[in-house]
């Protein structure tokens, strides 16, 4: 690739658009790092033979008739596998069912939320982990009577390791404050998927299935009196709701360890930021949530 100074503004814009589409949408450092050269396998430790290859400049993305384009050898690969598989490899090697079964075992073995966080941190069955900076486990008060479950962390959440701290999280806080609730006191917050999907795309069904046992266990351990699913994906994953616009604001039930609790799908604050007209519906749902919360019997 030519040096940056020799690129025209239009070429630079094309490259940035390419990065954004690939999920590379924030700069983490002033200079680029060549992670391939950085020593997972130092060249001196590599035996002869084997090759890691990269598409040579001038290769087309799709070679005619499905054949591979010519490849240029960059460095040698090790003849023996490294001791521990890297997360992306481990995730890729597990099928969706196996990943969900493994997640189920790990989640079931957790006796506390701290255990569960540790179990999730050790779980390599979801490929999103490999591209995320941080695990976003939860925020708010685990003893709060309302639990909110969103979709997946975004860029700010990934950087801070906390759910709902970016612009949509700030709107969520204002929405809660408008009905006298706060995450410091009344609300515990998590996501269906605790690692950021690249480019903030919606998590795939496979990613949600792999992580689902953890959020189910997290709800069990937090044991809230009211569950609110935020947005379509978490409403579908936890309440089997199809079509958030039709389902929002309806009270359903969710089974927490044998106890039926009221559960409501709500519109996602990111959607409200894009479609402020829907704030009217969100306000009606918030008032309904407030009424349910205030009608809860006192805890002994
Ligand atoms: N959107 C979500 O669904 N969850 C977050 O944590 C942030 C944005």
For the segment 112-149, what is each residue's pLDDT rounded down to a tens digit?
A: 999 999 999 999 999 999 999 999 999 999 999 999 99
CA atoms within 13 Å, Cβ hemisphere of 152: 23
State in Å: Cα 191 to ligand 1 middle: 7
The Cα–Cα gap between 76 and 41 comes to: 9
**Residue 27 has what pLDDT?**
62
* 197 CB burial (10 A radius; 0-12, 13-18, 19+): buried
**Cβ(228)–Cβ(149) below 8 Å:** yes
- Ligand 1 mutation pick, 169, 201, 230, max ligand atoms within 8 A of CB: 169
- Ligand 1 mutation pick, 162, 265, 270, max ligand atoms within 8 A of CB: 270
Residue 22 has pLDDT above 80, yes or no: no
Q: 214-242 burial, b if ≥16 CB within 10 A, otherwise e?
A: bbbbbbbbbebbbbbbbbbbbbbbbbebe
Lowest mean pLDDT: which of 7-11, 37-41, 97-101?
A: 37-41
Lowest mean pLDDT: which of 66-70, 96-100, 285-289?
A: 66-70
- Taking the CA of residue 268 as reference, the ligand 1 atom at the shortest distance is 3
Q: Among residues of the chain, what percentage have pLDDT more than 70?
A: 73
**48 beta partners:** none
**Residue 234 has what pLDDT?**
97
Which domains, and CATH codes, for the chain?
87-294 (3.40.470.10)
Helix (H, G, I), strand (E, B) or coil at 54: strand
Query: Who lines ligand 1 at CB under 6 A?
Result: 150-154, 157, 163-164, 166, 168-169, 191, 231, 270
State in Å: Cα 214 to ligand 1 middle: 17
State in Å: Cα 228 to ligand 1 middle: 13
State in Å: Cα 186 to ligand 1 middle: 18
For the segment 199-238, what is each residue's pLDDT rounded down to a tens digit?
A: 999 999 999 999 999 999 999 999 999 999 999 999 999 9
- For the record, the structure tokens of 291 come out as 């009424």
**Cβ(121)–Cβ(134) below 8 Å:** no
**Cβ(152)–Cβ(203) below 8 Å:** yes
């Amino acid at each position: 690739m030519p040096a940056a100074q020799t690129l025209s503004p239009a070429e630079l814009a094309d490259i940035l658009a390419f990065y954004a589409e690939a999920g590379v949408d924030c700069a983490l450092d002033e200079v680029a790092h060549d992670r391939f050269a950085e020593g997972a396998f130092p060249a001196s430790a590599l035996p002869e033979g084997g090759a890691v290859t990269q598409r040579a400049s001038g290769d087309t993305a799709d070679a005619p008739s499905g054949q591979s384009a010519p490849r240029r050898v960059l460095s040698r690969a090790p003849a023996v596998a490294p001791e521990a598989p890297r997360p992306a490899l481990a995730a890729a090697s597990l099928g969706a069912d196996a990943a969900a079964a493994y997640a189920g075992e790990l989640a079931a073995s957790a006796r506390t939320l701290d255990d569960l966080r540790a179990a999730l941190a050790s779980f390599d069955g979801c490929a999103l982990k490999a591209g995320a900076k941080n695990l976003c486990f939860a925020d708010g008060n685990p003893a709060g009577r309302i639990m909110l479950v969103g979709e997946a962390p975004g860029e700010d959440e990934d950087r801070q390791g906390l759910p709902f701290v970016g612009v949509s999280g700030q709107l969520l806080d204002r929405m809660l404050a408008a009905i006298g609730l706060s995450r410091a006191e009344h609300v515990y917050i998590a996501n269906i998927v605790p690692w950021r999907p690249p480019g903030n795309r919606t998590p795939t069904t496979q990613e949600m299935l792999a992580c689902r046992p953890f959020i189910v266990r997290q709800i069990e351990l937090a044991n809230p009196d009211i569950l609110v699913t935020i947005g379509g994906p978490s409403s579908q994953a936890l309440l089997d709701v199809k079509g958030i616009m039709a389902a929002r604001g309806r009270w359903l039930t969710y089974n927490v360890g044998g106890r039926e609790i009221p559960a409501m799908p709500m519109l996602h604050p990111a959607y409200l930021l894009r479609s402020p007209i829907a704030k009217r519906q969100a306000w009606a749902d918030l008032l309904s949530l407030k009424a349910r919360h205030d009608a809860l019997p006192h805890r002994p």
